[in-house]
Amino acid sequence: MAQGWTVQDVYVDAGVSGAKASRPALDAMLGAVHAGQVDAVLVAKLDRLSRSMGNLSPLLADLDGRGVALVSIAESFDSASPAGRLMRNMLGSMAEWERDVIRERTTSGRRAHRPGRLGIRQRRAVRLPGRGRASRGAPGSG
């Protein structure tokens, strides 16, 4: 690599959700971290490592406690510096937020397509109490 790093191993959890705390390749990578075989973990994007702050926080604490840096290629940060750790934490929160918004939209869309429900693009006009034309005054009065 350009920084003079040597790639120890490549860990890929194909087809497994990043929302899960335990995944085969992630667990194998953490085994290498715990065995002291890794100085830094390099990820393509932080949300590929985890999309939940509940899962990401203990993982980051484990890496930090062992002196293992987390480096993201896409977000261009290295957790070896205070600014890198700040960026890592903010991006982790954004990944969790994005996952929650997707889940919320998916759930809403499924509900909208149940029999007897309004579809996503259907609208209904309603009158709100105290907000009708009579409460605003008749045109020309005043």
Structural domains in the chain (count): 1
Report yes or no: 43 and 70 within 8 Å, Cβ to Cβ: yes
Distances, alpha carbon 98 to alpha carbons 15, 19, 23, 86, 88, in Å: 19, 12, 21, 18, 15
Q: What is the pLDDT of residue 3?
A: 74
Q: What is the pLDDT of residue 134?
A: 59
Note whether residue 26 is domain-resident.
yes
Q: What is the pLDDT of residue 32?
A: 95
> What is the residue range of 36's domain?
1-114
Average pLDDT of the segment spanning 46-54? 78
Q: What is the pLDDT of residue 112?
A: 75
Long-range contacts: 121-128, Cβ < 8 Å, 24+? none
pLDDT band at 37 (very low <50, low <70, confident <90, very high): very high
Kind of pairing between the strands at 40-43 and 69-72:
parallel
Note whether residue 124 is domain-resident.
no
pLDDT band at 31 (very low <50, low <70, confident <90, very high): very high
Does the pLDDT of residue 95 top 70, yes or no? yes
User: Domain holding 11: CATH number?
Assistant: 3.40.50.1390
Q: Which residue has the higher pLDDT, 142 or 123?
A: 123
Does the pLDDT of residue 2 top 70, yes or no? no
